[in-house]
Amino acid sequence: MLTIIKNAEVYSPEYLGKKDLIIGAEKILYITDSITTHPQLNVKILDLEGDYLVPGFIDSHVHIIGGGGEGGYKTRTPEITLSSIVKAGITSLVGILGTDNATRTMSNLIAKAKALKDEGISCYTYTGSYHLPLKTLTNRIIDDIVFIEEIIGVGEVAISDHRGSQPTLEELIRITADARVGGILSKKAGIVNVHVGKGKKLIQPLLDVINNSDLPITQFLPTHMNKDEESIKACKEFINLGGRIDFTTSSSNNLDENDISKPSKALKVLMDEGVNLENISFSSDGQGSMPHFDEKGNYLGLTVANVNTLYQEVKDSILVEQIPMEIALKVVTSNPATFLKLETKGRIKEGYDADLVILDKNSLNIKSVIAKGKLMKKDGKIITRGTFE
Ligand code: ZN
């Protein structure tokens, strides 16, 4: 059945003004100023009465089968549920493995991605995890990307982190080259999502790859780059060279609004410095483990990172940092769609997937979510739940 969305204030993410849309067969079919329906036409009408309509959010870094485990077996975090994703306005995500590639496997990751797709949203994965040599599904990066529908790149490979395998320049060049070729052969992104730890070299290993090979800088998407003044400076340099970077939203929970490691603050700092914001995305690191310490650094316990921090940081960018809405929205819509080469995602445009979020015009809170044309959340209530929820 067709659905007509009426009186929507559309951010595509660019501002389009007040529009009516027809959606059907999982797609945005038609966008115009006003649509009049005929009584004999069997269509569903959704009148937004001036609320904002924005593209469904894309989260490029989520531990969909759980992560963690750095404090022993009982600290392995649980897998994600459909409702927590939908509640956060996320309609597309990339599932990843992390530190643990012993008790967590690629086959399990792919199965979970397929389950989430069956439940109504779009899900992709990377192949590999923190460590080299990469544990892939087919024993070859190129084959994984070319033949496994869900796999769109490599990640999260750890650099500058004591938990990573301290990859050599040659190793990094090889996996990046393979990811690129896999991407070229399958028309996928073929990017390498790089976990950048707190180690002293930061993203220098990536610059070494660029300087010592023919690989383009856009082959990388380094994440967790919102750490401190030094990492934000490194972001600026990396972007000015044409690179793209990603900020992690969950690590900034409870941070003071002036802390530069808060993604909304870091985005504002880079905007003020004239950095190209089209080269920045946010991701949640959702379902990863978050260790907590007291002021003396004593371990207090673990919680699970929440995907709802993704939009929370976008909202803070708009309401606290006063970044224009159409710019702030890009970091979770059109920018990641470009980085991940998801050609029908991240925009409100005819022919694109009907992945949509409705925001309350006053509070900017998420009211309703549509994934592939299907209403998943309506007026604040989840209406489509996962199989076992
Ligand atoms: Zn990571």
Q: Where are the domains of the chain?
A: 2-54+348-382, 56-339
d(CA 58, CA 116): 14
pLDDT (0 to 100) of residue 44:
94
d(CA 100, CA 373): 36
Distance 95 CA to ligand 1 centre (A): 12
What angle do helix axes 263-272 and 229-240 make, rounded to 10 degrees? 50
Q: How far is CA 257 from CA 65, 96, 229, 368, in A?
A: 31, 29, 15, 27
What's the fold here for domain 56-339? TIM Barrel (3.20.20)
Whether 297 has a pLDDT exceeding 90, the answer reads no
Q: Is the CB of residue 191 less than 8 Å from the CB of residue 339?
A: yes
Distance 3 CA to ligand 1 centre (A): 39
Please, which pLDDT band fits residue 296 given cuts at 50, 70 and 90? confident
Kindly state the tokens that stand for 7: 């009186």
Distance 5 CA to ligand 1 centre (A): 38
pLDDT (0 to 100) of residue 254:
67
Which residue in 285, 316, 353, 355 is the catalytic one?
285
Distance 270 CA to ligand 1 centre (A): 22
Nearest to 135 by CA among 103, 180, 93, 89: 103
d(CA 276, CA 338): 14
Question: To which CATH superfamily is domain 2-54+348-382 assigned?
Answer: Urease, subunit C, domain 1 (2.30.40.10)
Rounded to 5 degrees, what angle do the CA atoms 202, 203, 207 make? 145
Concerning whether 285 is annotated as a catalytic residue, the answer is yes
Whether 314 has a pLDDT exceeding 70, the answer reads yes
d(CA 93, CA 113): 9
Longest dimension (CA), the chain: 70
Whether 253 has a pLDDT exceeding 90, the answer reads no
What pTM was estimated for this model as a whole? 0.96
d(CA 108, CA 105): 5
d(CA 351, CA 345): 10
Q: How far is CA 58 from CA 133, 222, 232, 301, 321, in A?
A: 29, 16, 23, 29, 22
d(CA 3, CA 19): 14
DSSP 218: G
Distance 181 CA to ligand 1 centre (A): 24
d(CA 308, CA 84): 8
pLDDT (0 to 100) of residue 252:
67
pLDDT (0 to 100) of residue 2:
93
Q: What is the pLDDT of residues 85-102, one digit of tens each?
A: 999 999 999 999 998 999
Distance 145 CA to ligand 1 centre (A): 21
Q: Is the CB of residue 151 less than 8 Å from the CB of residue 193?
A: no
Q: What is the pLDDT of residues 101-150, one digit of tens each?
A: 999 999 999 999 999 999 999 999 999 999 999 999 999 999 999 999 99
d(CA 309, CA 131): 27
Higher-confidence residue of 39 and 281: namely 281
Kindly state the tokens that stand for 18: 């007040």
pLDDT (0 to 100) of residue 39:
82
Which residue in this structure is represented by tokens 């990396």? 238
d(CA 314, CA 330): 9
